[in-house]
Amino acid sequence: MMSTTFLSRFTPSIMAPRILEAIFVQRKPLAERLVELIKDSALTRSKHHTLLIGPRGIGKTHLVSLVYHRVRQADVVKEGRLLIAWLREEEWGVMSFLDLLLRIHRALVAEYKDQELESRVEALFEMSADEAERAASALLKDYVGGRTLLIIIENLDDLFGGLDDEGQKRLRSYLQENPFSTILATSQSLFRGVSLQTSPFYGFFRITHLEELSIEEATQLLSNIAELDGDKDLAALIGTSLGRVRIRALHRLAGGNPRVYIIFSQFLTRESLNELIDALMRTLDELTPYYHERIRWLSQQQRKIVELLCDRGSAHSVKEIASRSFMSHQTASGQLKLLRGMGYVQATPLGRESYYELREPLMRLCVEVKKHRDRPIRLVVELLRSWYTTEELQKRLSKLPPDVGGPLSEREHIHAALTEYQSAEVLVSLSNTERINQAALGLVRGVEIEREVNARIISEAVGKMARLMARRHHLEQSGHTMEDLAQTALLKFLTRADSAPESLYEVNDFAAYLYRIVRDTAIVIERKEARRQGREHIPELTEFQRRIDFLVERTPPSPDEVLEMRVLLLNRTLSYLLTAGDKDNLIERLTELAREMSGSGAEDVLSESLIRSFILLYKEEDPDTEQLNLEEWYNISKEILESYLEYELTLRILEKIVRYSKTKDKRILLELPLEERTFMEPLLDD
């Protein structure tokens, strides 16, 4: 469904206050704080000046628009203590202090529809520039009277660029001599006008850097948009594992930039590939001139560095950048500092070195589109694979008219995504799970006619799995017991599912769910065995027991709970096997998991569990026990997962953890592109 509410992607300042409030996330305390500071400026002789810094699309205009609307409703405005002049994004052509004064007057005229002020401002144009500046200064002071003036300035960096040193000095002097203004300004990055210690506004502003959205905040944003639009499809999708996968994919693309989520929010639920690709390409098209313009402003040396970082994707030391661009270390370092000041790159200091990378993932994407016209864009291909199953892609491809071609066409992107799938598919056998799924759905839906057949299929599957499991856990003696227990648990569960909404278990999930019941039953039995033999069982098993009780005795869990349990159980199982050094079992388990998960849309569950298991080993590696070491575990994982392209990123991350564990050299982590690092770092920080 199309959005019913007007969400302007590029001009939040024209959105209704209700909408701005409804989709506002993460920065609620900051917005409250800004309103407080403005009120304090209006009510006392203190005057606060705040500068918000963040790249394009981070939500600066959204935030100031929201603050503007809130302040307008506040008592300080109603009681006439505060005036507002809002200099919006498009205030081009301010070349002098006089120009700035005129813009402020114009903003006041627009805000208060004051005709008298308008005619007094008109009269200024009759004067010489010197006279007009004096008169405009005096007029502003006179108009504000004893009140406070809130000046909202968007893109302060541009404005200061136009004002130049002299204009900035005049402004600063005016503010010092006439302390009736409080300023709320925004800028894309720190700029010389505030960061250079000889500039007039050095240290003048309270500077706040706006943070990118975390994946949770992005999910919240999307939920808010769904609610605002009454988009039930989107709201429902967000809670599902498919929704999570898509949001994760989007998060990698967006790098926490709210505007990108807003652009793509309406496409999350789409099954039509066309619209998604269109939206992505249109966004890139819209942004390309902007990024090209930004690159055009740079010196040749700076362009060279930016292009290098676009190509390489990850953070690099000054030394590497210098040698790759044939520059001296000093030149590269100087240029990088300038680029950082202008907001193109960001630096991570490590010891005495700094590692630089591009600040905006979209910039890299735009450059990639233009530079590699002859091949599909890697990120789009990745996005497609996260978004659609093989079948969906095949279906889509068959519907495309044959004459649509070219390296950047939809066809080529689908082809690329499918090719990546195919090699994975050879290893995956889905027939068995598919059959189980159908049978389970039949049972859950209560289709009487095939009840017996379905029950038999399930029962056989459970039996097979139980036997397999018994063998794996060396519990052959208890094979029957295990099968019985698993069957009982399963039937108990199925019969309790009095209403069986289809969404309860997506087709792909059910076989996995069955499998888990059996496996968990095996663990329960292992515990009993342990007790019987007088050996200690693994403490984690208590948790498994609790989970199984929970499964058996209550109504079916929600998809969210299923997912959560899945992650938990996977984590525990892997860590248990790893600690026990049970190599054969690990290989078998991982092979099956990879097969089971492939194409299910929940590959990230396995990825996350794997990464966690690595971090666990990394943190607790103990040569005195039988547990596997990181490298062995990596080799096993690599061998099994290498053929599944959806784990490419995961393996890349794992490899870094292994190398990092040996050298503790943080540069290794910096080899990962920013978006991949943001995926891993929260786990490392746990």
Partner 1 sequence: MRTNPGGQIDPAEIIGRDELVSHLWDVLLRQSLVLTAERRMGKTSVVLKMRAEATADKLPIYRDLERVHTPMEFTQLVYDDVSAYLSMLNRTARRAQQLVTQLGGTEVKGLIKLPEMAAPHWKTLLTKILEDLVEHQERTVILFWDELPLMLYNIKSRAGEDAAMEVLDTLRSVRQMHPDIRMVFTSSIGLHNVLSVLRAAGYANAPTNDMYTEDVPPLNLEHAHELAVRLLKGEHVQTNDLMICAERIAKLVDGIPYFIHHVVDQLKQRGGVATVETVDAVVHSSISDQHDRWHLRYYRERIDIYYSPEERPFALNMLDVLSLAEEPVTFNELFNQLKSRMVTEDREQALRVLSLLQRDHYVAQREDGKLVFRFPLIQRCWRIHRGVE
**Contact residues: partner 1, CB under 8 A:** 29, 33, 36-37, 40, 44-49, 130-131, 134-135, 166, 169-170, 172-177, 179, 182, 190, 195, 197-198, 200, 202-207, 209, 347, 349, 352
* Backbone torsion region of residue 332, taken as left when φ is above 0, otherwise alpha when ψ lies between -120 and 50, otherwise beta: alpha
Q: Which residues contact 542 (CB under 8 A, 6 or more apart)?
A: none
Considering the complex, what minimum distance in angstroms separates the CB of residue 76 from partner 1? 14
Question: Within the chain, what is the greatest distance between any pair of CA atoms?
Answer: 103
Considering the complex, what minimum distance in angstroms separates the CB of residue 339 from partner 1? 14
Considering the complex, what minimum distance in angstroms separates the CB of residue 129 from partner 1? 11
Distance CA 202, CA 179 (A): 18
Considering the complex, what minimum distance in angstroms separates the CB of residue 197 from partner 1? 5
Q: Write the DSSP string, 501-543.
A: -GGGS-HHHHHHHHHHHHHHHHHHHHHHHHHHHTPPPPTHHHH
Q: Which residues contact 409 (CB under 8 A, 6 or more apart)?
A: none
Looking at the Cβ atoms of 200 and 559, the one nearer to partner 1 is 200
Looking at the Cβ atoms of 166 and 285, the one nearer to partner 1 is 166
Distance CA 182, CA 81 (A): 13
**Token reading at 140:** 């502003």
Q: Which sign does the torsion angle of CA 186, 189, 218, 601 carry?
A: positive
Q: Which residues contact 677 (CB under 8 A, 6 or more apart)?
A: 669, 670
**Token reading at 520:** 């968990």
Do residues 48 and 206 lie in contact, with contact meaning Cβ atoms separated by under 8 Å?
yes
Considering the complex, what minimum distance in angstroms separates the CB of residue 134 from partner 1? 6
Looking at the Cβ atoms of 169 and 324, the one nearer to partner 1 is 169
Looking at the Cβ atoms of 176 and 555, the one nearer to partner 1 is 176
Q: Write the DSSP string, 162-220.
A: HHHHHHHHHHHHHHHHS--EEEEEEESS--HHHHSTTSTTTTTSEEEEPPPPPHHHHHH
Looking at the Cβ atoms of 143 and 644, the one nearer to partner 1 is 143
Contacts by residues 98-105 (CB-CB < 8 Å, ≥ 24 positions apart): 98/129, 98/132, 98/133, 98/136, 99/162, 100/159, 100/163, 100/167, 100/171, 101/133, 101/136, 101/137, 101/140, 102/136, 104/140, 104/149, 104/151, 105/136, 105/139, 105/140, 105/143
Residue 244 exposed, middle or buried by CB count within 10 Å (0-12, 13-18, 19+): buried
Considering the complex, what minimum distance in angstroms separates the CB of residue 203 from partner 1? 5
Considering the complex, what minimum distance in angstroms separates the CB of residue 362 from partner 1? 22
Considering the complex, what minimum distance in angstroms separates the CB of residue 305 from partner 1? 19
Q: Write the DSSP string, 455-499.
A: HHHHHHHHHHHHHHHHHHTT-GGGHHHHHHHHHHHHHHHHHH--S
Considering the complex, what minimum distance in angstroms separates the CB of residue 172 from partner 1? 6
What single DSSP character describes residue 645?
G
Do residues 82 and 144 lie in contact, with contact meaning Cβ atoms separated by under 8 Å?
no
Do residues 589 and 577 lie in contact, with contact meaning Cβ atoms separated by under 8 Å?
yes
Looking at the Cβ atoms of 47 and 519, the one nearer to partner 1 is 47
Looking at the Cβ atoms of 210 and 369, the one nearer to partner 1 is 210
Considering the complex, what minimum distance in angstroms separates the CB of residue 36 from partner 1? 7
Considering the complex, what minimum distance in angstroms separates the CB of residue 353 from partner 1? 11
Q: Write the DSSP string, 609-643.
A: HHHHHHHHHHHH--TTSSPPPHHHHHHHHHHHHTT
Looking at the Cβ atoms of 145 and 446, the one nearer to partner 1 is 145
Residue type, 435: R
Do residues 411 and 405 lie in contact, with contact meaning Cβ atoms separated by under 8 Å?
yes
Distance CA 168, CA 160 (A): 7
Considering the complex, what minimum distance in angstroms separates the CB of residue 425 from partner 1? 46
Considering the complex, what minimum distance in angstroms separates the CB of residue 40 from partner 1? 5
Distance CA 524, CA 486 (A): 10
Considering the complex, what minimum distance in angstroms separates the CB of residue 52 from partner 1? 13
SS3 355: strand
Looking at the Cβ atoms of 166 and 311, the one nearer to partner 1 is 166
Looking at the Cβ atoms of 45 and 113, the one nearer to partner 1 is 45
Looking at the Cβ atoms of 112 and 204, the one nearer to partner 1 is 204
Considering the complex, what minimum distance in angstroms separates the CB of residue 199 from partner 1? 11
CA distances in angstroms from 208 to 156, 189, 259, listed in the order given: 14, 11, 19
Looking at the Cβ atoms of 209 and 375, the one nearer to partner 1 is 209
Looking at the Cβ atoms of 169 and 638, the one nearer to partner 1 is 169
CA angle 260, 387, 608 (to 5 degrees): 90
Looking at the Cβ atoms of 325 and 678, the one nearer to partner 1 is 678
Looking at the Cβ atoms of 177 and 374, the one nearer to partner 1 is 177
* Backbone torsion region of residue 93, taken as left when φ is above 0, otherwise alpha when ψ lies between -120 and 50, otherwise beta: left
Looking at the Cβ atoms of 178 and 545, the one nearer to partner 1 is 178
Considering the complex, what minimum distance in angstroms separates the CB of residue 682 from partner 1? 19
Distance CA 679, CA 672 (A): 10
